[in-house]
Structure 1
């Protein structure tokens, strides 16, 4: 992924938080006929492996499941806050001569998947539901599927680990724009896109120019 040094994450924790908050990724696997793409939910195990390990599942009927089972090279792409940055927000100094751009945070997790057996797949599904249902009012629980509900479904699913061999992160937050322009963009976004405004503020806090 093309990037610049100024677009680096502030910490690995920031990268992990983006993955956990997004939870949903575009998954690309290299196969004999080219690239195959799915869109899947993930749970991140921060402590397993140098860069953590992702855990997910997909339908066995999905052609990508065979490539996953073979351990073919795969990348999971997570998106964080992003949005259009309009020069209409910039001060006239004396003119607004910066071009429009798009600010965004993205993480690419590269690795070779390892398929899980039925027991580990069922355990993953329980954990995924716990993560996604956390703090919900009247949260749903897997046992509500009823007797045999899990057993009927798991044979049609393949769970897998994706140990992260290579982690790429890009937080393009206006660090390469003039500070007074970026500051005005932050002010404009604070009402309509506070998540993006907060990230931009954090990634430009050190600047004195």
Structure 2
């Protein structure tokens, strides 16, 4: 991913938190001679050696799963809040742009066995059920329901490298920067407000 230096995010703790908070990713690889993408939740975990890995699963019917056996190279894309930035918000003539945050994770994929697959399902469900009034637990599901686990291909991704971008108008002076925040907050759009909050936290 091309990232101008001013927008590079190299804060590892911030990147980990970003992946945790924006866990619905796009998994990309070469499948049957063409680029293939699947939208799935991925968990950031640690392996037995303390190295960061991504864990997830896809349907066994998804052709992408078969390609994992011969092509282990993978790209996982995580996207955060993003907004159109009108140049009418500046005190000078310029072009419109877009503010956004994203993380690209490159790695090698390894298919998990059935026991590991079920454990990965437990972790995924636990993460997203934590605020539920009556949380669902994989451990409480019937054997009949859990037979569906054979219909998935679970995997872990060994992380080779990470590219992280945080483009939040860092190239603007204080006056225009603050005005962009005000204009985003005035739109009434929830995502615009999230971008405004990110801008307030962004070091300049």
Question: TM-score normalised to the size of structure 2?
Answer: 0.89
1:172 to partner: Cα distance? 0.6
Give 3-state SS (helix, strand or coil) of 2:162's partner.
strand
The yes-or-no answer on 1:126 pairing with 2:126 is: no
The yes-or-no answer on 1:184 pairing with 2:179 is: yes
Bigger mean CA deviation after superposition, 12-21 or 63-72: 63-72
Q: Which residue of 1 aligns with 2:160?
A: 165
Distance 1:139 1:28, change over 3 A: same
1:147 to partner: Cα distance? 3.3
What CA distance in whole angstroms lies between the structure 2 residues aligned with 1:132 and 1:176?
37
The yes-or-no answer on 1:198 pairing with 2:194 is: no
1:35 to partner: Cα distance? 1.2
What CA distance in whole angstroms lies between the structure 1 residues aligned with 2:88 and 2:149?
53
Q: Is the 8 A contact 1:31 1:72 kept in 2?
A: no
Give 3-state SS (helix, strand or coil) of 1:113's partner.
strand
1:143 to partner: Cα distance? 4.5
What CA distance in whole angstroms lies between the structure 1 residues aligned with 2:48 and 2:5?
27
Q: Is the 8 A contact 1:51 1:166 kept in 2?
A: no
Q: Is the 8 A contact 2:72 2:108 kept in 1?
A: yes
Distance 1:10 1:194, change over 3 A: farther
Q: Is the 8 A contact 1:60 1:156 kept in 2?
A: yes
1:136 to partner: Cα distance? 2.1
> Over aligned residues, Cα RMSD in angstroms?
2.0
What CA distance in whole angstroms lies between the structure 1 residues aligned with 2:2 and 2:174?
23
2:101 pairs with one of 95, 101, 105: 105
1:146 pairs with one of 135, 142, 147: 142
The yes-or-no answer on 1:136 pairing with 2:132 is: yes
Which ranges of structure 1 fall in alignment gaps of 5 or more residues?
none
1:188 to partner: Cα distance? 2.0
1:178 to partner: Cα distance? 3.4
What CA distance in whole angstroms lies between the structure 1 residues aligned with 2:115 and 2:45?
18
The answer to which structure has the higher strand fraction is 2
What CA distance in whole angstroms lies between the structure 2 residues aligned with 1:197 and 1:185?
8
Give 3-state SS (helix, strand or coil) of 1:74's partner.
strand
Question: TM-score normalised to the size of structure 1?
Answer: 0.87
What CA distance in whole angstroms lies between the structure 2 residues aligned with 1:51 and 1:186?
37
Q: Which runs of 4+ in 1 moved over 6 A?
A: 47-51
1:125 to partner: Cα distance? 0.3
